[in-house]
Structure 1
Amino acid sequence: MSGPDGRAQYVAIITDGNGRWAQSRDLPVAEGHKAGADVVKARLRDAVELGVKELTVYSFSTENWSRSAEEVTALMRMFSERIIGETPELKAEGVRMRFIGRRDRVAGALLEQMDWAEAETAQNDTITLFIAFNYGGRAEILDAAARFDGEGGEEAFRKLLYAPEMHDPDLVIRTSGEQRTSNFLLWQAAYSEWVFRDELWPDFSREAFEASLNEYQERTRRFGGR
């Protein structure tokens, strides 16, 4: 649901383009992911100032395991370092952290760090940062369907998703000029508005974020009605 001024309160982002950003600068792909992680933190802080209550970022998909072992290893190392290093400051800023996705294939030590970060920030309510990690929309629906007994309709089914408390995003943003959903929040984004931006994710500035929110505000959502 939009805020009283028509602003998006629940925003999700497909943070696409880290690898291309690095390659265009003759840098290792890992440097692109580091730059992208810095932008996630910066835009999270902007989101608080812009009235966003939930921000969901697509950090690692179930399909990303097909990338080179070197890139996956570097990504996992970076996730671990970021969780350990940044959770205390995010906690101090009132950010609640939630990781959504499958837990298989993720190293036990990293899973413990994710659980620790969630527990450390569980009482915060300034903004919730949902991190879609080892996440796939089809996987989420399949996992919920496996536990669904057919009773209670959509609301009962929703309670079986990875984060039942997550609101459906008002707005989904995708960077890097690509225009596809990439298996992201297939259930939750059924009626979301989409904005596609040309910037590669590390170049996604506050101004680009505000422009996306303003574009959303100019639209009329009908949810199938007139």
Structure 2
Amino acid sequence: MSNQPRHIAIIMDGNGRWAEKRGKSRTAGHEQGAETVRAVTTFCARHSEIDRLSLYAFSTENWKRPKIEVEFLMKLLERYLKSERSTYLEGNIRFEPIGDLSMFSASLRKVIDDVQNATSGCSGLIQSLALNYGGRDEIVRAVNSLRENGTITVEMLGSALDCTHDIDLLIRTGGDHRLSNFLLWQAAYAELFFTDTLWPEFGADELETIIKKFKTVERRFGGLN
């Protein structure tokens, strides 16, 4: 039996470079990247073999970017979630954010909560946006939540994380070959695929090609087949 890509995670890289290549502002790249999020999410929602799609939207390190870019990203996220609410509902997609949301403004947190609550009854694809997310930060927060429980087991720590689901297929666009602090625990046995395609140019066709390659990989999880 071929592998099933139940949980796909994507590091969406290349928005800024896509814009710069075209003589546009970095914000234009982020705008176009949001369109790709919509297209990829819609594609995954139509495939019953895919249960969960986790997208790296804003990392704990992204606060280091210029203030004007960070402010734009916050506004873009709020606008995206408001506009995509109908897309989620029509596609039976449940929205589940992961990360430390406490750093966001009250208005943005309200929009995040509203969309999460509105889609809580959807039973199709689960789309997770990683927002103010870092893999190390996630693990530290999980450990701190378990400090009074005595000896911590792998199962206990895994269940205390923001994302409690192992990744099957992890993709990074934009040409770099690193995880950048994304879902480090969950990616322990993920199959990693890297593409030079910049995120705004990534689409359903390339994703489908990667999934087909993934299905042919022999996954041993440390054992022998």
Shared topology, TM-score over 0.5? Answer: yes
- Match of residue 91 from structure 1: 89
Distance between the aligned counterparts of 1:58 and 1:33, measured in 2?
Answer: 13
Opposite residue 20 of structure 2, the aligned amino acid is Q
Whether 2:197 is the aligned partner of 1:199: answer yes
| TM-score where L is the length of structure 1 | 0.94
Distance between the aligned counterparts of 1:163 and 1:205, measured in 2?
Answer: 25
Whether 2:203 is the aligned partner of 1:213: answer no
Conserved 8 A contact 2:135-2:182: yes
CA drift of 1:150 comes to 3.8
Distance between the aligned counterparts of 2:162 and 2:7, measured in 1?
Answer: 17
Please, which runs of 5 or more residues in structure 1 have no aligned partner? Answer: none
Distance between the aligned counterparts of 1:219 and 1:24, measured in 2?
Answer: 35
- Match of residue 155 from structure 2: 155
Distance between the aligned counterparts of 1:152 and 1:180, measured in 2?
Answer: 29
- Match of residue 49 from structure 1: 46
Match of 2:73 among 66, 75, 80: 75
Local SS of the residue matching 1:52: coil
| TM-score where L is the length of structure 2 | 0.95
CA drift of 1:152 comes to 5.6
Regions of 4+ moved over 4 Å: none
- Match of residue 25 from structure 1: 22
Percent identity (aligned)? 37
1:96-143 CA-to-partner distances (Å, cap 9, x unmatched) read 001100123211110111011110000111100010010000000000
* Higher mean C-alpha deviation, range 101-110 or range 74-83: 101-110
1:177-198 CA-to-partner distances (Å, cap 9, x unmatched) read 1000000001111110100011
Conserved 8 A contact 2:3-2:217: no
Distance between the aligned counterparts of 1:225 and 1:131, measured in 2?
Answer: 32
CA drift of 1:89 comes to 2.4
* Higher mean C-alpha deviation, range 128-137 or range 206-215: 206-215
Change (3 A) 1:38 1:150: farther
Conserved 8 A contact 2:45-2:93: no
1:131-164 CA-to-partner distances (Å, cap 9, x unmatched) read 0010000000000011112446111112211133
Distance between the aligned counterparts of 1:181 and 1:150, measured in 2?
Answer: 31
Match of 1:7 among 4, 22, 27: 4
Opposite residue 139 of structure 1, the aligned amino acid is D
* Higher mean C-alpha deviation, range 209-218 or range 42-51: 42-51
Please, which runs of 5 or more residues in structure 2 have no aligned partner? Answer: none
How many residues in Structure 1 have an aligned counterpart in Structure 2?
Answer: 221
Match of 2:119 among 118, 121, 125: 121
Whether 2:130 is the aligned partner of 1:132: answer yes
1:164-217 CA-to-partner distances (Å, cap 9, x unmatched) read 3xx211000000110000000011111101000110001112111011111211
Conserved 8 A contact 2:56-2:182: yes
